[in-house]
Amino acid sequence: MSTTTSLGHIDMPRPRRFALPIPRLPGWAVSWLQVGPLMLILSVLFALPTILFLVVSFYDYDRIGIYPAFILDNYRDLLTTPATWRVYLSSLKFAVIVWGVTLFLGFSVAHFLVFHIRSSMLRTVLFLLCAIPFWTSGIIRAIAWIPFLGRNGAFNQILMALGATHKPLDFLLFSDFAVIVTYVHLFTLLMIGPIANSLAKIDPALIEAARDAGASRWRTMVDVIIPLSKTGIALGSLLVFTQVMGDYFVVKTMSGGQSASIVSMLSTEITAMQYPPASANAMVLVLFVAIMVACMMRVVDVRKELVK
Amino acid sequence: MMVGGPSRAGAVSEKRPWTFYALGALFLAYMAFLYGPMIVIYVLSFQGENGGVTFPMVGTSFTWFADIVKPGQMANIPISFSRSVMLATVVSLLTVIFSVAAGLGFRRRFPGSGVVFYLAVASLVMPSLLVGFGIGLGFQFLGLQTSMFTSALGAQLTWTLPFGMFAMFAVVNRFNRSWEEAAADLGASAWQRLRHVTLPILLPGILGVAMGAFTLSYDEYARTTLTIGQNNTLPLEIYALISSATSPTLFAIGTLTTGGSFLVIAITLILVMRMQRRRNAAILKAG
């Protein structure tokens, strides 16, 4: 028998089910119970370590160990080295180019799959075709370009067979070109996914309405489809941008040692156990990424769009 | 303004607009771009015994596939593969539990939701190696040994949990709350509503999260390298291999992975189709 009676329900017939004597939790408490584990894990494993290397970035160090201190030398050394600025600039250049290319490719592919493929079975199969190479290790996918783009590689063979060139092209491999191609190959899916998800939510009636009102294909695209898919565009951009900025092996492997990435520079310091300068470097990278992400979130309020 | 396009009536008739062909061609080009180098490595993985990692092919053989399991230089591949699968399974399981719960929690506004949201965004965009660096540093300060199911697992969760939560937002958004209300009106308890209404409807999305988390973990390199301790996972082993010596064995691994992926996807598709058919049959019977 139930013992909980609230004022409004005194005369209601009681449910026959045996009611547990636990009080009903308010909505916010239920939400916190549901979100709590995730929040706890991220706090301990992401927020705390980040605070830790913020602290260490002010430490002093020598060849033997690191010492608690509050000095700014690590930052001064980092920011007064021309190599730092060079690496940041080249990473930024890669990030912008790759962002542009993957956005165009990703949007076009997503648009094709969502609006032009009518059979949902075929759409699923084509989506899977886009996703399958993602399952092969990124490292293997990166080095797969080496036999493809190399001097005797497949691409040069094709070009020469077509008579497009007499001598194999050398700039294809171990160059900025190879780095960009590899990034685009690795990261376009990160654009396709979120954009396709946004596009799929657009009510087809809206597009029809635009067309009935006399809008050209182009105007429908600019005034209806793109504004309605901006959450996907923002999420995809966020992922691609941060992946390129945090890249570890693509630049190292595909540039043939001509350029370095911020993270590979950082990992050299970590292997040398120079934790304080590595931490300072990490903090600068985190700040840089955070500013770029904050700018993107200003343009598109991802939160409002995602959590309805 | 209409660049060679059909009239507006094109939407009504079944005639394809010119953009269909343009985008279709672009899609095919993207497929060629995506699979071109993959096909090259599939071919090269059958390279002859004396051949190298580039063309030309010197005969054909299965040497490089045999090399994967042969004791000796590559002996670590099978065991690191099994480690990767174990870790990815655990990561995927935990991600599903915690991010599905979080996705459901975000369905109502609650104080502090902004903090959780932005913490997840920050965790998602943090350069991967730095997460591993921070966790490794923390373990060192605490005098703990890094290992696969402590530090490495944690480092991977900081990436799969936000991913899972965002994916769940998309899934949950399409969920109509009135279904749950209907169940409540019919006298279903909170548990019954979750078990018989909410979870079955969300199931395809949840499977997607599980598969996504598995993939992210299985291929994770930068977060894991500083947190794994003694025993390498497959991506770390592969990275060690390309830094030491290059042989078509790496390509053979790629070929096997793709074959395995196709197999898993085929099985999943068949299962999902069966599930849908059974559900449709149940609806027909009930309705």
Q: In the beta sheet, which residues pair with residue B60?
A: B47
pLDDT tens digits along A215-244:
888 888 888 888 888 888 998 998 899 899
Confidence of residue B9 (pLDDT cuts 50, 70, 90): very low
CATH number at residue A249: 1.10.3720.10
Q: For B242, which of A37, A139, A308 is closest by C-beta distance?
A: A139
- Position A76 in a domain: no
Q: Which residue of A has its CA nearest to B243?
A: A253
Q: How far is B135 from chain A (nearest CA, A)?
A: 5
pLDDT tens digits along A293-304:
888 888 887 777
pLDDT tens digits along B110-157:
888 889 999 999 998 888 899 999 999 999 889 888 888 989 999 999
CB contact under 8 A, B37 and A152: no
Q: For A217, which of B19, B113, B238 is closest by C-beta distance?
A: B19
Give the range of the structural domain holding residue A92, as residue numbers without chain letter: 82-306
The percentage of residues in chain A with a pLDDT greater than 90, rounded to a whole number, is 23
Q: Is the peptide bond before B56 cis (omega within 30 degrees of 0)?
A: yes
Count up the domains in chain A and report the number. Answer: 1
Q: Which residues of B touch A273 (CB under 8 A)?
A: none
| Of A106-120, A257-271, B253-267, highest mean pLDDT | A106-120
- Position A62 in a domain: no
Q: Which residues of A touch B117 (CB under 8 A)?
A: 303, 307
Q: Which residue of A has its CA nearest to B135?
A: A49
- Sequence-separated contacts (24+) of B271-277 with Cβ below 8 Å: B272/B204, B272/B207, B275/B203
- Position A249 in a domain: yes
Assess A141–B contact: CB distance below 8 Å, yes or no. Answer: yes
Q: In the beta sheet, which residues pair with residue A67?
A: A60
Q: Which has the minimum average pLDDT: A37-51, A132-146, B45-59?
A: B45-59
Assess B158–A contact: CB distance below 8 Å, yes or no. Answer: yes
Q: Among residues 28-87 of chain B, which lie with CB inside 8 Å of chain A?
A: 30-31, 33-38, 40-41, 44, 53-56
pLDDT above 90 for B91: yes
CB contact under 8 A, B34 and A157: no
- Position A41 in a domain: no
- Position A51 in a domain: no
ipTM: 0.81
CB contact under 8 A, A141 and B127: no
Q: How far is B59 from chain A (nearest CA, A)?
A: 17
pLDDT tens digits along A177-194:
889 999 999 999 999 988
Cα A226 from Cα A234, distance rounded (Å): 11
pLDDT above 90 for B31: yes
| φ/ψ (deg, to 5) at A94 | -60, -45
Q: Among residues 187-206 of chain B, which lie with CB inside 8 Å of chain A?
A: 187, 189
Mean pLDDT across A253-278: 83
Confidence of residue B2 (pLDDT cuts 50, 70, 90): very low
Q: Which residues of A touch B236 (CB under 8 A)?
A: none
Q: For A52, which of B40, B134, B250 is closest by C-beta distance?
A: B134
Contact indicator for A130, A189 with CB cutoff of 8 Å: yes
**Mean pLDDT for all residues in chain B:** 83
Cα B23 from Cα B152, distance rounded (Å): 42
pLDDT score of A78: 87
- Position A5 in a domain: no
pLDDT score of A8: 43
Burial readout A216-227 (b: 16 or more C-beta within 10 A, e: otherwise):
ebeebbeebbee
Q: For B102, which of A38, A145, A201 is closest by C-beta distance?
A: A38
Cα B160 from Cα B138, distance rounded (Å): 20
pLDDT score of A280: 92
Residue B52 identity: G
Contact indicator for B175, B100 with CB cutoff of 8 Å: no
Mean pLDDT across A5-21: 49
Helices (H), chain B: 18-44, 63-69, 76-105, 113-125, 128-142, 153-173, 177-185, 190-193, 199-218, 234-244, 249-286
Collapsing DSSP to helix, strand or coil, B60 comes out as strand
CB contact under 8 A, B110 and A28: yes
| φ/ψ (deg, to 5) at B47 | -55, 145
Cα A150 from Cα A168, distance rounded (Å): 9
Assess B275–A contact: CB distance below 8 Å, yes or no. Answer: no
pLDDT above 80 for A261: yes
Q: Which residues of B touch A246 (CB under 8 A)?
A: 126-130, 222
DSSP string of chain A, one letter each residue = ------GGGTTSPPPSS---SPPPPPHHHHHHHHHHHHHHHHIIIIIHHHHHHHHHTT-EE-SS-EE-----HHHHHHHT-HHHHHHHHHHHHHHHHHHHHHHHHHHHHHHIIIII---HHHHHHHHHHHHGGGGS-HHHHHHTHHHHHSTTSHHHHHHHHTTS-SSPPSTTSSSHHHHHHHHHHHHHHHHHHHHHHHHHTS-HHHHHHHHHTT--HHHHIIIIIHHHTHHHHHHHHHHHHHHHHT--SHHHHHTTTS---HHHHHHHHHHTT-HHHHHHHHHHHHHHHHHHHHHHHHHS-HHHHH--
Overall fold of domain B76-233: MetI-like fold (1.10.3720)
Provide the 10 A C-beta neighbour count for residue A192.
25
